[in-house]
Structure 1
Amino acid sequence: MEVKNNNHSMGAGMQQAMDYARILDVPFAYSSNGDGFIEHDFTRNDALIEREISLDEFPSPDELWQRYRQWKGIEEEENEIITQPYYSDGRGKRPRYYQLNAINRTVEAIAKGKERILLVMATGTGKTFTAFQIIWRLWKSRTKQRILFLADRNILVDQTKTNDFKPFGQAMTKIKKRQIDKSYEVYLALYQAVTGNEEEKNIYKQFSPDFFDLVVVDECHRGSAAEDSAWREILDYFSSTTHIGLTATPKETKDISNIDYFGEPLYTYSLKQGIEDGFLAPYKVIRIDIDKDLLGWRPKAGQIDKYQQFIEDRIYNQMDMNRSLVLENRDILVAQKITAFLKRTNRFRKTILFCEDIDHAERMRRALVVANSDLVAQNSRYVLKITGDDKIGKEELDNFILPDSPYPVLVTTSKLMTTGVDAQTCQLIVLDRSIKSMTEFKQIIGRGTRINEAFGKSYFTIMDFKKATELFADPNFDGDPVQVYEPKGDDPIVLEEDKPYQMANPSPVVREKRTKYYLGKETVKTSVIRERVQYYDKEGRLITESLKYYTKKTVNKEYRSMDAFLRQWGEATKKQVIIDALQERGVIFEGLMQEVGKEFDAFDLICHVAFDQPPLSRLERANEVKKRNCFTKYGEKARKVLKPAFLTNSAIAKLQTIM
């Protein structure tokens, strides 16, 4: 419902109300000016689709629900399932609107007998919490009494059990190898713990095929997406039950398709929408181009590398860096650029550096240790490598994820941290890896999208050395998934380095190890030839321009003059409302503070950047006010406007004492 004052017509707010209704997935929209209502009924296609009703004719909740049931074709037995309440923790935590949409659509679809459901929700939007509410309502209504939740990372299973799924209490268990107790109702399992190549390792077969009523597959774009994978066998074994797939990035290639198995997504909530709604962190991109990447490098005739290998004579470019060609100076340069950025901002800003492979991740660990030797000397865990082959690194993954754990800060990885890592305070994503897969790119970007205001995380930065962020310009980055699957016969699948999960073919064809040439820092020099910053605007595009210029343009579009801005700032009961509105339009105050000076608050930043006023700290502003004797000159008006807008309480008290 959109309500206007009596100076407007009854239907003045209808288009707004209809827009809200579409977003909230509800079929009734109302506009009013206090004299009556205009009703728009999305369930109709006749003359009554929009009508005027009096104040006394407004429908009751029961009447609206009956109309909704009729529209959806909800029978009495289905009604009992659909009206099952959400779980409430007593602390007021409720699903967000898009989570409600996903939950309601899923529960309604299952009540009507749908067997395969796909939910696509951007990383950081609470897929697991959404899954919990779906399972809770189905479980409490006894529609689904025994549930299996599958994930492919142990940390995902443990996080789920101790966090979102905790209300299941004693009814829940985690399946471990060779330990089966069929007295529970909610089972959480790691794929690797319930399946294997040897028959005795297939623990899931200790359950009868009809034991579970519901199977939920987290990150379904991964191991179980391939039709011939060992993990798909679990889903096929429990094929008679309902399956729900959860993913931020559905896998749609000619060889693998989530849509082919689960069907078209029942609900999609994108990264762009999450940022616009304020649930996900916006980002800025720092693109750094290195000379040898763009201009290429060719060895001299007969040149050998540091390990006495003859280097193949050809031109090596960006695609070869750290895959076929290793330049030690390039490693040092990348480490220096990362460190310089952190020194300008915050050296304890949690950072993930994505590398080409494990070898590259180890070299970058060493380079970062040298570049940050002062902090490493204080705590050796300041820099760590976290890869699939490193037990010590993997044990530190939880500490990197925990917001209140200061170490580790800088981590290097290959593939292990691309997905399933709920790093709420990660504020810097570094890409030194060639990325061509849109699925992988979305997963990597998702490591930074979570917001944690308590720890000062409201946006994040992407530092790109490999032009990977060009994928932002691809229409598929934030578009709806499209099925391109082409069923075909069995093809050999090669192993990838640092693959964190079991490959589809139980006997994979292993490719010959790639030849790498290593050139020491005295052999080949490298340098940065171009560096630029891009910002995410409200249309979801990356803009390449100064943040100061973008802020000036945005504020000037909103406020035609400084007087107009000051008037609204003075009238606003909560200054944060204005700040939030500008942030929604892509103004990143933290980034702006870095350019102008951290000691300046939002008001001064806006006045300086948008209206060319000199930025003043609060103390300087107080001294200026004292010199001008503003309180005496302008009286009560100055107190009302200047106090909340310009001075802290302590500064005001100090100023009043002086004056």
Structure 2
Amino acid sequence: MRPYQLDAVHVLQQAVKAGSDRFLFEMATGTGKTLTSAAVIKLFLRTGNARRVLFLVDRLELEDQAKKAFAELLSADYRTVIYKENRDDWRHAEIVVTTVQSLLFNNKYQRQFSPTDFDLVISDEAHRSIGGNARAVFDYFVGYKLGLTATPRDYLKHFDRNKPTTRDPRETERRLLLDTYRTFGCEDGQPTFRYSLLDGVKDGFLINPTVVDARTDVTTQLLSEEGFVATFDEGVGGELQESFGQREFEKRFFSDATNQLFCKTFLENALRDPISREIGKSIIFAVSQKHAAKLTQILNEMADRMFPGKYQSDFAVQVTSQIADAQQFTINFTNNKLLGSANFRSAYKTSKARVCVTVGMMTTGYDCPDLLNLGLFRPIFSPTDFIQIKGRGTRKHNFLEELFDDEIKAGVTQPDKTSYKMFDFFANCEYFEKEFKYDQALKLPKPPSKGGEGPEPPPPPGATYQHLGQDVIDSIGVAEVGPQGMKIDRMFFQKFEDTVRHDQAIATAIEAGQWDRVIDYVNREVFDKPTEHYTLDKLRKAAAVDRKLGLREILEKIFGLIPGFKSKDELLEEEFAKFLADTKPAEAESIPAIKDYFKAYVANDRVRSIIESQHFQDLATNPYFDNRAFKAVPKKYRSLIPAYVRDYVSLNQFTQ
């Protein structure tokens, strides 16, 4: 096991020792939740704390995936069965895997099981398994409960129980029931164990995406404040103008020209398989089943022109609920046999179908490490959905695993997956980076109607607008996501705020101005604990400031002693103002040149090295501060500023 997976097991042991019987593991997609679960299962069974374990999933393909994983890891000691395949002898197995829906059907969980049949219940994708009727299954069984999720839902965050946000008196009760943290015994909003995407990237286990931000003329207008303005003929000699916005695209806007452009841009820029050089395996997320069908048709037509004779309408496959065997399609795609395999090289077993076009079926829990491209062909407004979709591509992979020809292997220079592309046609990444309000309380989902939850009613006749005109690419940009991750990955800082605010020892010491005591306490009692793995370096990255923050400054901001973090330039301006107050230069006309020199010397290591070594000729090639700028500085200040900085300015805070 990897070190962080062992940490998760050890933290759970500590929680049991402290009297807990509910636990939540928040682990990024691709970090091995199933493997960690297998370790927990073995621990409970081996120590006699459980006789039998129930592993709950919410989709059929995840059922098969979990059963295979447990059989591979634990079969020497324990038997694993899928309930629906072993209805008569499941009691002879130590591990039972099933979907929540299977147990819910006709209240099967009550009719065929006793509450004490399972001593440990593990809920995969826990944020989904406690919603609606599914929660009844989870709560029915007594004993230990472990939730696994990459995206827990915090319905109590910023929610004042004394001031409900609706008139429904049941709002507080529903929030308590749906809140992932509270359900799994983490009332303080902190999971039992957390390992984030940023942790995985930093430790070399996961990869960040390369974002292809492509906007067409139509989608650019849809994303604008005014929206896309369409003109309708009223039929009586008049015209009516209507504006369509980003959110309306999902239900009311449909453009053949835009879909053609999406598919063309995707195919021209998609990452290729490093062995066969065909389009890398990809998932495209569409607006609706109708949209998915149209995209599938367009992609197959284009693939036939790009690769003559290689595909017969089997390049792209629609994988949605209305398609027969869609669940099996997802399994076959992972196993590299969807509609055949080895289409380009007989010794290379990769799926013939290269693109799965879906709406929601492959959003969560789907494991396919050799994915190279994700297409966001729709706007996304849920951070949970965005994180889950992004997580489909974060796993690493060695493509030589499916190549069975040593001669060809010798010629492959880059067999490892080091990145994946995420095609974003609706500025989803920008939305979650700049516009989404992370500090708002989550809205409750609408309660099901009396007849149960059914499909959303279709829009009224004539309400769907189809743009029949042309569309062109308005802009396209490619940007790699660095180790600092996206903002949606950096909400780590807010959780640290909550942790220290609720620590009375920290609050008391800060109020008394005992900073040495505070810094020592945080380093000793808060940082690098298995439950959170807080570090100063992670907090600096999460704060996203262009300089190095100190722990005291971070705590001052959290406890309201300073209004915010100053940027590097704001801090430089402050330090220069102090310098002016101390030295009172008489040469007023030279102050701009003196300021440039002061800032360059403080903030740039290379400039400082040149000045200190007196290799002034090197300034000629320095882009940050050159010879001309240096000659504009009065001679007196060329030596005065370095001496002043050495005595009065802490350089550490200006580094990144």
User: Is TM-score (shorter-chain normalized) higher than 0.5?
Assistant: yes
**How far apart are the structure 1 equivalents of 2:311 and 2:302?**
14
1:135 maps to which of 2, 21, 41: 41
Q: Give the Cα–Cα distance (whole angstroms) in 2 for the partners of residues 232 and 146 of structure 1.
A: 20
Q: What is the match of residue 13 of structure 2?
A: 107
In the other structure, the counterpart of 2:26 is 120
Question: Of 405, 430, 433, which residue of structure 2 is paired with 1:473?
Answer: 433
Which of 311, 324, 331 is the equivalent residue of 1:391? Answer: 324
Residue 300 (structure 2) aligned to one of 354, 369, 383: 369
- The CA deviation at 1:336 is 0.6
Give the deviation of 1:246 after TM superposition. 0.1
Any conservation in 1 of the 2:252–2:465 contact (CA below 8 Å)? Answer: no
In the TM superposition, residue 334 of structure 1 has moved relative to its aligned partner by 0.6
Aligned partner (choices 417, 421, 428) of residue 457 of structure 1:
417
Cα deviation for residue 458 of structure 1 reads: 1.9
User: Aligned pair in 2 of structure 1 residues 361, 117: CA closer, same or farther (>3 Å)?
Assistant: same
- Distance change (3 Å), C-alpha of 1:483 and 1:215: farther
Task: Tell me the distance in 1 between the aligned counterparts of 2:295 and 2:213.
Answer: 19
Task: Choose between structure 1 and 2 for higher RCO, CA contacts under 8 A separated by at least 6 residues.
Answer: 2
Could you tell me which residue of structure 1 aligns to residue 137 of structure 2?
234
Residues 235/418 of structure 1: CA separation in 2 closer, same or farther (3 Å cut): same
> Cα deviations across residues 121-156 of structure 1 (Å, max 9, x unaligned)?
000000000010011111111121211111011111
Matching of residues 341-490 of structure 1 within 5 Å: 341-342=269-270, 346-374=277-305, 375=307, 377-380=309-312, 381-402=314-335, 404-455=349-400, 456-473=416-433, 484=441
1:276 to 177, 202, 208: 202
Query: Is the alpha carbon distance of 1:472 and 1:164 closer, same or farther for their aligned partners in structure 2, counting shifts above 3 Å?
Result: farther
Task: Measure, in 1, the Cα distance between the counterparts of 2:67 and 2:390.
Answer: 25
Q: CA deviation at 1:221?
A: 1.0
Q: Which amino acid aligns with 2:421?
A: T
Q: Is the 8 A contact 1:274 1:280 kept in 2?
A: yes
RMSD over equivalenced CA pairs, Å = 3.1
Query: Which SS does the other structure have where 1:176 is aligned?
Result: helix
| Letter in structure 2 aligned against 1:193 | S
Question: Which digits, 9 at most, give the CA deviation of each residue in 1:526-576, with x for residues without a partner?
Answer: 11111111121232259xxxxxxxxxxxxxxxxxxxxxxxxxxxxxxxxxx
Instruction: Kindly indicate whether the alpha-carbon contact (under 8 Å) linking 1:326 and 1:517 is maintained by their aligned counterparts in 2.
Output: no
Q: Cα gap change, 1:105/1:193 in structure 2, threshold over 3 Å: closer, same or farther?
A: same
Q: Deviations over 1:383-426 (max 9, x none)?
A: 11111221244332122212543222111110001012101011
1:307 aligns with: none
Work out the CA distance in 1 between the residues paired with 2:150 and 2:434.
17
1:111: Cα distance to partner?
A: 4.2
Deviation (angstroms), 1:244: 0.2
1:124 and 1:449 in contact (8 A); partners too: yes
* Contact persistence 1:259–1:483 (CA under 8 A): no
- The alpha carbon displacement at 1:293 in A equals 2.0
TM-score by length of 2: 0.59
Give 1:177 deviation, angstroms.
7.3
Provide the C-alpha distance between the structure 1 equivalents of 2:323 and 2:232, rounded to a whole number of angstroms.
39
Residues 185-584 of structure 1: matches in 2 within 5 Å? Answer: 185-196=94-105, 198-199=106-107, 202-222=108-128, 224-226=129-131, 229-238=132-141, 240-253=142-155, 255=175, 256-262=178-184, 263=186, 264-295=190-221, 296-302=227-233, 313-342=241-270, 346-374=277-305, 375=307, 377-380=309-312, 381-402=314-335, 404-455=349-400, 456-473=416-433, 484=441, 492-493=447-448, 507-508=452-453, 511-515=456-460, 523-541=468-486
Q: Does 1:175 align with 2:101?
A: no
CA deviations on 1:255-278 (whole Å, 9 max, x unpaired) are 431012112301111111111111
Which letter does structure 2 place at the counterpart of 1:129? L
Query: Following TM superposition, by how much is the alpha carbon of 1:510 offset from its aligned partner in structure 2, in angstroms?
Result: 5.7
Cα distance in 2 for partners of 1:110, 1:165 equals 26
CA distance in 1, matches of 2:181, 2:257: 45
Query: 1:491: Cα distance to partner?
Result: 5.2
Deviations 1:177-234 (A, max 9, x none): 79243232211111122112x34xx145422111211000000111x232xx211111
| Distance (Å, rounded) in 2 between the aligned partners of 1:484 and 1:343 | 38
1:11 is aligned to none
Distance 1:421 1:541, change over 3 A: closer
Q: Distance in 2 between matches of 1:397 and 1:171?
A: 26
Unaligned runs of at least 5 residues, structure 1: 1-94, 305-309, 495-504, 543-584, 586-659
Who is 2:405 aligned against? none
Contact 1:177/1:203 (8 A) holds in 2: no
Q: 8 Å contact 2:155–2:441 — kept in the other structure?
A: yes
Alignment partners' CA distance in 2, 1:323 and 1:475: 22
Cα distance in 2, alignment partners of residues 131 and 344 from structure 1: 34
Once the two structures are TM-superposed, the CA of residue 518 in structure 1 deviates from its matched residue by 6.1
Does the C-alpha gap of structure 1 residues 398 and 344 become closer, same or farther in structure 2, counting only changes over 3 Å? closer
Can you list the C-alpha shifts for 1:341-365, whole angstroms capped at 9, x where unaligned? 1388843301111011111111100
Asked if structure 1 preserves the Cα contact closer than 8 Å seen for 2:250 and 2:379, the reply is no
Distance of 2:451 and 2:179 partners within structure 1: 20
Q: Which amino acid aligns with 2:287?
A: E
> Does the CA-based 8 Å contact 1:396-1:408 persist in structure 2?
no
Q: Return closer, same or farther for 1:524/1:483 CA change in 2, 3 Å cut-off.
A: closer
- Is the Cα–Cα contact under 8 Å of residues 148 and 187 in structure 1 kept in the other structure? yes
1:112 shift after superposition: 4.2
1:160 matches 2:66: yes
Offset, 1:474: 6.2
Aligned to 1:497: none
TM-score (norm 1): 0.59
| Distance change in 2, residues 1:178/1:165 (3 Å) | closer
Tell me the CA shift for residue 166 of structure 1: 2.9
The whole-number CA distance in structure 1 between the counterparts of 2:239 and 2:209 is: 40
**1:269-326 CA-partner distances (Å, limit 9, x unpaired):** 111111111100122101011112222433334269xxxxx99741123333352011
- Output the CA distance in 1 between the equivalents of 2:427 and 2:104: 39
How far apart are residue 471 of structure 1 and its match? 4.8
Amino-acid identity (%):
26
CA contact (8 A) 2:321 2:361 kept: yes
List gaps (5 residues or longer) in structure 2.
Answer: 157-174, 222-226, 337-348, 401-415, 488-540, 542-656
Residues 277 and 313 (structure 1), Cα distance of their counterparts in 2 relative to 1, 3 Å cut: same
Out of 159, 168, 184, the position equivalent to 2:93 is 184
Compared CA separation, residues 387 and 509, structure 1 to 2 (3 A): closer
- Equivalenced residue count is 422
Q: Distance in 2 between matches of 1:247 and 1:311?
A: 51
Sort the Cα spacing of 1:520 and 1:507 in 2 relative to 1 into closer, same or farther, 3 A: closer
3-state SS, counterpart of residue 129 of structure 1: helix
* Helix, strand or coil at the partner of 1:372: helix
Q: Measured at CA, do residues 330 and 476 of structure 1 come closer, stay the same or move farther in structure 2, by a change above 3 Å?
A: closer
